[in-house]
């Protein structure tokens, strides 16, 4: 993490990595993506509670790569694991297109926003099912405002001990990822003043936000068992930390991000997270300890990132200094350059980060759409078009 307060040079200025920096890296890690979408009535622009029906219609084409979510306003699309990011990107776009087609069959559109912009957002209509009913019984009004959409990135890490260590190493970068992916400025028909309101609402769950620093896999297991025993979570699937070892796949799952406005936004995030995990694994295997920011400082840094997104200043959780948020992203990308180059993703990340520095985050682009005519309808239309261009052609 950078401790400098001045603007950093862009990632294009990163010097070529030394050969020995790549020597220990194996083949690129697998990466898979889960994206949650809102269903929108294109006339009213309000959210529509037809998630189970749209998921069922899309299943004939997508099979296991589509599913329902907690609320009937939502549907989820997934990619298979890939080592080649271009193949993952191709599948991600195809999944969005298939979901858009299934939604169109019911007169709807899909929208990739971290939060609903217009519509009756509380209380939400809960998707039928035993697990969702149990969640409502346990968490009560917490479920009422959870029509929030995230992007989850899975990176292949089979060893449980390494998965815990990866979580420790990634914790300081969670605020930077939050800012990079911010795409939920509106909620219930108004501008919240936050770039990622989803981050703020999601943080109300008893087991959410940055995970603790874990001393060992046994520390992780003991804590999880205690949380389940005391009713703070239903099971391991209810661990809503921003990073967690997947409970059903040999992966580390990074859950910090809002749903990406465009496929390119999601692909950038996936490339960065895979490089973060690969870089962490290199550090772990060479005995480098994970940074250990104070939990209260890390939480404050995540809050500030959710509020400001890519604009303003970030709180560096290691140096405890305020630095320009764009400089913090550039510092991260410089640290990741060897892994990005090894994965073949460096040019892609440079291109898409250059675009975000020019156009802004998803939250910035939503607000820019509003400024045209001071209309939330324009915001919804922009999000629909950005999510999948085939919906408007």
pLDDT for 23 equals 45
Task: Report whether pLDDT(7) > 50.
Answer: no
pLDDT for 9 equals 33
Q: How confident is the model at residue 21 (pLDDT cuts 50, 70, 90)?
A: very low
pLDDT digit string (tens) for 311-347? 999 999 999 999 999 999 999 999 999 999 999 999 9
Query: Across the chain, what does the average pLDDT equal?
Result: 91
Nearest-5° Cα angle at 246, 150 to 296: 65
pLDDT for 156 equals 98
Share of the chain above pLDDT 70, in %: 93
CB 120 within 8 A of CB 46: yes
**Of 76, 111, 6, nearest in space to 377 by CA:** 111
Q: Which residue has the higher pLDDT, 83 or 20?
A: 83
CA distances, 131 to each of 85, 235, 248 (Å): 33, 11, 16
Tokens (6 digits) for 103: 């939604």
pLDDT for 91 equals 98
pLDDT for 140 equals 82
Torsion of CA 196, 202, 206, 212, to 10 degrees: -40
pLDDT for 310 equals 98
Q: Which fold has domain 18-392?
A: Creatine Kinase; Chain A, domain 2 (3.30.590)
pLDDT for 393 equals 57
Tokens (6 digits) for 298: 């890390």
pLDDT for 143 equals 76
Q: Which residue has the higher pLDDT, 374 or 11?
A: 374
Q: How confident is the model at residue 6 (pLDDT cuts 50, 70, 90)?
A: very low
The mean pLDDT of 378-384, rounded to a whole number, is 98
Residues contacting residue 212 through CB under 8 Å, at least 6 positions apart: 223, 295
CA distances, 272 to each of 9, 76, 103, 120, 171 (Å): 18, 22, 30, 35, 14
Residues contacting residue 167 through CB under 8 Å, at least 6 positions apart: 211, 214, 243, 244, 245, 252
Q: β-strands 109-111, 31-40: how paired?
A: antiparallel
pLDDT digit string (tens) for 190-247? 999 999 999 999 988 889 999 999 999 999 999 999 999 999 999 898 899 999 999 8
Task: Report whether pLDDT(255) > 90.
Answer: yes
Cα 323 from Cα 314, distance rounded (Å): 5
pLDDT for 12 equals 34
pLDDT for 26 equals 80
Tokens (6 digits) for 218: 């046994």
pLDDT digit string (tens) for 92-135? 999 999 999 999 999 999 999 999 999 877 788 888 888 878 88
Its pTM stands at 0.92
Q: β-strands 243-245, 251-258: how paired?
A: antiparallel
Q: Which residue has the higher pLDDT, 55 or 18?
A: 55
């Amino acid at each position: 993490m950078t401790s400098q307060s001045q603007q950093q040079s862009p990632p294009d200025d990163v010097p070529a990595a030394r050969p020995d920096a790549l020597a220990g890296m194996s083949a690129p890690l697998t990466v898979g993506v889960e994206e949650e979408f809102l269903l929108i009535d294109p006339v009213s622009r309000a959210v529509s509670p037809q998630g189970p029906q749209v998921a069922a219609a899309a299943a004939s084409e997508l099979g296991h790569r589509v599913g329902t979510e907690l609320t009937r306003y939502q549907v989820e699309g997934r990619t298979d694991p890939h080592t080649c990011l271009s193949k993952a990107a191709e599948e991600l776009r195809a999944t969005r297109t298939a979901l858009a087609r299934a939604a169109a069959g019911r007169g709807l559109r899909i929208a990739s926003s971290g939060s609903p912009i217009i519509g009756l957002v509380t209380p939400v209509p809960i998707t039928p099912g035993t697990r969702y009913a149990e969640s409502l019984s346990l968490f009560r009004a917490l479920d009422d405002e959870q029509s929030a959409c995230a992007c989850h990135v899975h990176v292949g890490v089979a060893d449980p001990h390494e998965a815990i260590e990866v979580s420790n190493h990634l914790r300081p970068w969670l605020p930077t990822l939050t800012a990079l992916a911010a795409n939920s400025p509106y909620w219930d028909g108004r501008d919240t003043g936050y770039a990622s309101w989803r981050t703020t609402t999601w943080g109300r769950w008893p087991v959410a936000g940055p995970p603790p620093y874990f001393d060992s896999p046994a520390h992780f297991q003991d804590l999880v068992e205690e949380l389940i025993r005391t009713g703070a979570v239903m099971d391991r699937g209810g661990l809503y930390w921003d990073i967690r070892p997947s409970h059903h796949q040999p992966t580390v799952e990074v859950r910090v991000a809002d749903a990406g406005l465009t496929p390119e936004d999601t692909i950038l995030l996936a490339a960065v997270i895979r490089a973060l995990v690969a870089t962490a694994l290199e550090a772990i295997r060479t005995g480098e300890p994970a940074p250990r920011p104070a939990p209260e400082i890390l939480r404050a840094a995540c809050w500030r990132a959710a509020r400001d997104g890519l604009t303003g200043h970030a709180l560096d959780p290691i140096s405890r200094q305020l630095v320009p948020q764009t400089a913090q992203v550039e510092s991260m990308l410089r640290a990741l350059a060897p892994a990005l180059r090894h994965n073949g993703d460096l040019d892609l990340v440079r291109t898409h980060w250059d675009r975000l520095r020019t156009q802004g985050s998803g939250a910035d682009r939503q607000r820019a759409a509003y400024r045209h005519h001071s209309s939330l309808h324009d915001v919804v239309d922009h999000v629909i078009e950005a999510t999948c261009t085939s919906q408007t052609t």
